[in-house]
Amino acid sequence: MFALATTSIAWLITAIVLVGWIVYAALNMRSARAEIGSEIELAANRKPYLDDEELEGKRLELVQVLGVLMLIVIVIGLPAYWIFEPARMAGAERAQEELFVDWGSSLFASTEDGGFNCAGCHGGMNGVGGVAPFNVTDPLTGEVSAVNWIAPAVNTIFYRFDESEVRFILVYGRPFSPMSPWGLEGGGPMNFQQIDTLITYMRSIQIPRENCGPGEEDPLTCPTGHLPASIQGDIDTLARQAVADGTYASYGEALYNLDLASGAYSCARCHTQGWSWGEPGVAGQGAFGWNLTGGSTNSTFANESDMINFIKQGSQFGARYGIQGQGSGRMPGFGNMLTDQQIQAIVEYVRSL
Ligand code: HEC
Ligand code: HEC
């Protein structure tokens, strides 16, 4: 708003100054023309000028008033500029951001809307999660079957991954799945700028977080905020129901396998082969994420609390985790998604595999 007001004022001033100059130039040229040859009679520098009375009368006052007016413009105008400039810059930044979101949304849109169909697989423009038709080949028999592969929600993607990790996923895809590489480096069609605008768009559709810490302004990305308690509660209810109806033996096992269509909250989609298309193999035997069975997590992590910290933060590219683990950034962090109690239950289950 400020940005618009200052811009229009600036245009108005520019227009006035321009018109002023044109009028001045025109008048000047006219009087110059009238003067042609005049110096033959009387050279301009010998022309008797106004006398003291006249010079120090009205004329001087007029010039002084003009001076004061100019001073007022500077004294009020400069501080006003100083006051409005930050708002103008913020406005410009927001406008740029909105432009990016707009560009990103047209890339994200489904094929029929002219986009790259992220929306088609990931559950519409809000990215709530969906399914993607795919053919999987049985590695043993070579048999090909048509399946529906769960495409996780992306409206929580920044809860799980940081920007560079999301960029990696977009550029290189998940080559074993319907998620193809989209960046040029990965063999896809999009340049750096397009991936960037997609990231900005996905930021704009994040589920707003609850309990952002002091000084953290943006509920879409604030580092300490977590998933709204109502959603965490729904996850709880679902898991407890699955235990009650005998689908899973424990609360932790149910959370690990959480049967949400979006897949975004479960571990099984990455650590249990076949889970993503409804034919789960042995729990935790490894798929995109590593094998967690045979007590391997007990030797990877010295104790339960180390493992809990790892699940909360996820892996960071190049950073150490556990005793001798080095992260790739592909293991998501669940600290902002699930409650401490939920993570604890999952860890206890996984350590028992
Ligand atoms: C043909 C369907 C399809 C299309 C089109 C598609 N995706 Fe995906 N995407 C998937 C599937 C399936 C997965 C999960 C793969 C897996 O199981 O690891 C996925 C994974 C992802 C992930 C990682 C989510 C996570 O938590 O692991 C992100 C981010 C993502 N897609 C964003 C996009 C964006 C942005 C686009 C558009 C440029 C897009 N996808 C287009 C099917 C698709
Ligand atoms: C998007 C896929 C994905 C999801 C979802 C996922 N993981 Fe992982 N996980 C990985 C990958 C990939 C690794 C390997 C480490 C790396 O590459 O940084 C890993 C590593 C791990 C490890 C360390 C294994 C070792 O021996 O080094 C544990 C433990 C683990 N995951 C547990 C979990 C739990 C528990 C959940 C659910 C709360 C979960 N993961 C959800 C992909 C995933």
Q: What is the mean pLDDT of residues 67-74?
A: 93
Closest residue by CA, ligand 2 atom 32: 311
Question: How does pLDDT run across 117-159, given as a tens digit for each residue?
Answer: 999 999 999 999 999 999 999 888 989 999 999 999 999 999 9
- For residues 256 and 267, the answer to whether their CB atoms sit within 8 Å is yes
Residue 265 burial by Cβ neighbours in a 10 Å radius (0-12, 13-18, 19+):
buried
Give distance in angstroms: CA of 59 to centre of ligand 1: 77
Structure tokens at 99: 């432009």
* Nearest ligand for residue 150 CA: 1
The tens digit of pLDDT for each residue in 198-215 reads 999 999 999 999 999 888
- The C-alpha R_g of the chain, in whole angstroms, comes to 34
**Measured from the CB, is residue 287 less than 6 Å from ligand 1?**
no
Mutate to test the pocket of ligand 2, among 271, 308, 311, 323 (most ligand atoms within 8 A of CB): 271
Ligand 1 center to residue 118 CA distance, Å?
7
Residue 331 near ligand 2, beta carbon < 6 Å: yes
CA distance 238 to 259: 8
pLDDT value of position 3? 61
Residue 332 Cβ inside 6 Å of ligand 2? The answer reads yes
Burial 205-236 (b: 16+ CB within 10 A, else e): bbbebbebeeeeeeeebbeebbbeeeebeebb
Q: Quick: pLDDT tens for 50-66.
A: 788 877 888 889 999 99
pLDDT higher than 90, residue 275 = yes
Going by alpha carbons, the residue nearest to atom 2 of ligand 1 is: 121
CB 93 within 8 A of CB 100: no
Give residue for tokens 């010039």: 63
Give me the residue label for tokens 């998620």.
179
| 291 CA from centroid of ligand 1 (Å) | 22
Tell me the percentage of the chain whose pLDDT exceeds 90.
73
> How many angstroms is it from 152 CA to the middle of ligand 2?
16
Any ligand 2 atom below 6 A from CB of 350: yes
Tell how far the Cα of 17 is from the centroid of ligand 2, in angstroms: 66
Indicate if ligand 1 lies below 6 Å from the C-beta of 179.
yes
Contacts 24+ apart (CB under 8 A), 94-97: 95/3, 97/200
Q: Is 190 in the pocket of ligand 1 (CB under 6 A)?
A: no
Q: Is the pLDDT of residue 92 over 90?
A: yes
Interval 13-38: pLDDT, tens? 999 999 999 999 999 888 776 655 55
User: How many whole angstroms separate alpha carbon 194 and alpha carbon 81?
Assistant: 35
pLDDT at 28: 86
Say whether pLDDT at 1 is over 60. Answer: no
Atom of ligand 2 nearest to the CA of 300: 26
Residue of 111, 122, 273 with the most ligand 1 atoms within 8 Å of its CB, for mutation? 122
pLDDT for position 202: 97
Yes or no: say if 331 and 340 are a contact pair by the CB < 8 Å rule: no
pLDDT of residue 161: 96
Contact 122 CB / ligand 1 (< 6 Å): yes
C-beta contacts of 304-308 below 8 A and 24+ residues apart: 304/347, 304/348, 304/351, 307/347, 307/350, 307/351, 308/340, 308/343, 308/344, 308/347
Residue 88 CB-half CA count within 13 A = 14
Q: How far apart are CA 314 and CA 316, in angstroms?
A: 7
Does 193 contact ligand 2 (Cβ within 6 A)? no
Give the contacts of 112 (CB within 8 A, at least 6 positions apart). Answer: none
State the CB neighbour count (10 A cutoff) for residue 178.
19
Using the atom order of ligand 1, give the atom closest to the CA of residue 156: 26
- Cα 169 to middle of ligand 1, angstroms: 8
Say if residue 44's pLDDT is above 70: no
Q: What average pLDDT score do residues 219-240 get?
A: 92
Q: What is the pLDDT of residues 297-310, one digit of tens each?
A: 888 898 899 999 99
Q: Is the CB of 271 under 6 A from ligand 2?
A: yes
